[in-house]
Amino acid sequence: MAQFLFFLDGKAVGFTLLIVVMLLTLFYMYSKREVTVRRVAALDAIDEGIGRSAEMGRPVINSIGTCDGGMSTWTVSALSILKYVTSKCVALGIPLYVPLGGSEAVYTPMEVARDIVRTEYEMAGKLDEYRPDNMPFLSGRQFSWASGYVGMMLRLKPGVNILLGEQMGTAMYLSEIGHEVGALQISGAHYITNIACLAASADYLAIGEDMLAAGAYLSKDPNQIASIRASDLMKYLFIVVLIVGSVLASFGNKIVATLLGY
Amino acid sequence: MSNVLKSKTFLLILAIVVQFLIYIPYFVDVPAPMKTAESELLRFAVNIASFAMLVGVYTATRKEIIRIGKRQKGWIYGVWVLILIWVMIIAGLVLGQTTPIFKFLQDSMLLPGDATIYSIVLFYMISAAGRAFRLRDTGSSLLLIVVVLVLLQQAPIAAIVWDGFVPIGNWLNNYLGMSISRTFAIVTALGGIILAVRFLSGKEMGMVGVKKEEGK
């Protein structure tokens, strides 16, 4: 069979898979189907955390991460979450703080974040309550930013610390200080070793694509939620490919590895 | 003009064109002008980031000046921050990055500060581990055993006590750890593609600050 597939390499298969995923996502988004997706505890906990802050009379802190990759998918997801958190804080009249900085690529996402928060206040007709100083740029270096962030938490004693987006080595430091000041800790990170560390520290953890699906999940828009279904279906396909590939490779047939390698 | 630049249609067209120019040359051989457009766009992103750095300097300076002007709590630290920011900028831009003053600020202030904060993380990891790795049920017991084995693999004394610790730790890292890392990479790539589809189809525009009435 390998002879028939000689013209295919990893890039061609990758491109085909990309197109399939995109078409499947569009199909689910526009098919008006009611789909059920699993509950994501970390995202459901955002409402709980904001409500907790309102009851305790404490502010909310929401980080969009260090944005090391600039406007990466993780930062974009964190910005979607920030938009949701801002709308809730505006509605309940809770002060929102967003410590910005952490890398030299943060400057563009930082301005986007400020614009998002300002727009939410403007849309609610509460522009006079918008405080640009609540979104300070602390530093372009990760550790200096983390020190400033910790200082904010110690002074403000937030009810919830939402630590999402691209979180690097300081995530554990920030999460533990959040825990110390009595904040509900909702964390997530973009690489697996950091997630393992945060699992020991956070109250709720966004793992893997949880954060990337946040915009759709929190929007409660059926069309957007339907897009998550496409992700689930593709995961089943990948599980089958993994099992078939492993079995074939065990018998010396490397066709799956050839098709997916580049 | 700003309304046009922030409109949903403009942002969508811009995003689709940029995505097309960046992604297609990765998969398919394209004519030279399209390759040039791809590399120019990537360079453009670097230039934007460089300009945006000025915004960072401006906002940090503005924040500290306001803090000092209003004599807010800890305003004296604001003076110190301003001095450090501007001495660093002047030393780097005017005198050059090889001058003793710049090297002193970099090597004797910034880097030790970074190293100190990074070291502190260790203590927080221990305190979090103390809470997390407790014997509560079967799952947490299994987790504790695996953690101990991986820790022992890293400790030189473990190999002296019993030479089986290293292969067990290696197996846990190379097979269990690696498979979980790969799974994570696959699902996050998938999530990223689906997020891009939602964005390119105009469904999820919140992250670019599009107002609700435009974003519907």
| Segment A5-57, tens digit of pLDDT | 555 677 788 888 888 888 988 888 888 777 777 788 899 999 999 999 999 99
Check B117 against A83: CB less than 8 A apart: no
Burial A199-231 (b: 16+ CB within 10 A, else e): ebbbbbbbbbbbbbbbbbbbbebebbbbbbbbb
Residues 6+ apart with CB under 8 A from A51: A92
Assess contact for A161 and A153: CB atoms under 8 A: yes
Q: Quick one: pLDDT band at residue B215, thresholds 50, 70, 90?
A: very low
Q: Which residues contact B12 (CB under 8 A, 6 or more apart)?
A: B200, B202
Average pLDDT over residues A172-180: 91
Buried b (16+ CB within 10 A) or exposed e, A125-142: eeeeebeeebbbbbbbbb
- Say how many CB pairs under 8 Å bridge A and B: 189
pLDDT digits (tens, 9 = 90+) for A117-165: 999 999 999 999 998 889 988 888 899 899 999 999 999 999 999 999 8
In-domain check, residue B86: no
For A223, the enclosing helix (H) or strand (E) is: helix A222-250
User: Tell me, what's the pLDDT at A71?
Assistant: 83
pLDDT above 70 as % of chain A: 97
**Domain residue spans of chain A:** 1-25+225-262, 41-212
What token pair was written down for B155?
A: 């400790």
Largest Cα–Cα distance in chain B?
72
Angstrom CA distances, B154 to A83, A175, B205, stand at: 43, 25, 46
Whether the pLDDT of residue B118 is over 70: the answer is yes
Side chain identity at residue B88, one-letter code: M
A102 phi and psi, to 5 degrees?
A: 115, -20
Reported as a single tens digit per residue, the pLDDT across B132-180 is 888 888 888 888 899 899 988 888 888 888 888 999 999 999 988 888 8
- The DSSP secondary structure of B58-120, one letter per residue, reads HHHHHHHHHHHHTT-TTHHHHHHHHHHHHHHHHIIIII-TTSHHHHHIIIIIIHHHHHHHHHH
Residues B55-79: what's their mean pLDDT?
A: 86
Mutate to test the interface with B, among A8, A80, A112, A115 (most CBs of B within 10 A): A80
Q: How many domains does chain B have?
A: 2
- Cα angle at A116 between A115 and A117, to 5 degrees? 95
**For chain A, what is the total number of helices (H) and then of strands (E)?**
10, 7
Question: May I ask the CATH architecture of the domain A41-212?
Answer: 3-Layer(aba) Sandwich (3.40)
Are A25 and B199 a contacting pair at CB < 8 A?
no
Residues 183-202 of B with CB under 8 A from A: 183-184, 186-188, 190-199, 201
User: Is B204 inside a domain boundary?
Assistant: yes
Nearest chain A Cα to B189, which residue?
A: A209
Q: Flag whether residue A182 sits within 8 Å of chain B, measured between CB atoms.
A: no
Judged against a pLDDT cut of 50, whether residue A103 lies above it is answered with yes
Distance CA A10, CA A262 (A): 5
Reported as a single tens digit per residue, the pLDDT across A206-225 is: 988 888 888 888 887 888 88
> In a mutagenesis test of the A interface, which of B117, B194, B212 is the best target, namely the one with the most A β-carbons within 10 Å?
B194
Please tell me the distance from the alpha carbon of residue A172 to that of residue A155, in angstroms, as a whole number: 19
Quick check: B204 pLDDT over 80?
no
In a domain, B34, yes or no: yes
Which H or E run contains A138? strand A137-139
Domain of B149 in residue numbering reads as: 134-209
β strands within A66-109, DSSP E: 96-97, 100-101
Residue in chain A closest to B197 (alpha carbons) equals A22
CB B153 within 8 A of CB B165: yes
For residue B103, being part of any structural domain is answered with no
Task: Report the complex ipTM.
Answer: 0.84
- The CA–CA distances, whole Å, from B124 to A198, B119, B198 equal 11, 10, 38
Determine the pLDDT at residue B8. Answer: 77
Rg over CA atoms, chain A = 21
Q: Is B5 among the domain residues? A: yes
Residue A232, CB-side half-sphere exposure with 13 Å CA sphere: 11
B60, B81 in Cβ contact below 8 A? yes
Does some domain include residue B29?
yes
How far lies B66's CA from each of A20, A217, B18, B63, B71, in Å? Answer: 53, 39, 39, 5, 8
Q: Does A235 touch chain B (CB under 8 A)?
A: yes
CB pair distance less than 8 Å for A231 and B133: no
B121 reaches A (C-beta below 8 A): yes
Domain boundary among B52, B72, B92: B72
Chain A contact for B206 (CB, 8 A cutoff): yes
For an interface test with B, the pick among A76, A122, A134, A181 (most B C-beta atoms closer than 10 Å) comes out as A76
The answer to whether residue B129 is domain-embedded is no
**A7-11, A185-189, B99-103: which range is least confident on average?**
A7-11
Taking CA–CA distances from A146, the nearest residue in chain B reads B117
